[in-house]
Amino acid sequence: MMGIPASGPALKECPCEEIDEGFECRCSGPALMDVPNNLHKELTILIIEDAGIEVLKSDSLLPYSTTLREL
């Protein structure tokens, strides 16, 4: 699998990899305060670890509502 970074400010905190079902992005780091809205358009799996997110906003996952299968 080849690592495909997200674009913009998510680049460092949320690297993405192509998987059989689409793309998996792994977001981490205390500076991560919200789910980036610029991850891969075909995001199917989102893993959030050791992030500074305390509460998800109601629209945080909206950009991925048609493709996200696992959080």
The two structure tokens encoding residue 54? 């305390």
pLDDT tens sequence across 20-39? 989 999 999 999 999 999 99
Confidence band for 13, pLDDT divided at 50, 70 and 90? confident
| H or E element, residue 4 | strand 3-5
Which phi and psi angles does 15 have, rounded to 5°?
Answer: -70, 145
Neighbours of 11 (CB within 10 A): 13
Task: Taking the CA atoms of 27, 55, 50 and 68 in sequence, report the sign of the dihedral they define.
Answer: negative
The two structure tokens encoding residue 30? 């205390």
The two structure tokens encoding residue 47? 């893993």
Amino acid, single-letter form, for residue 71:
L
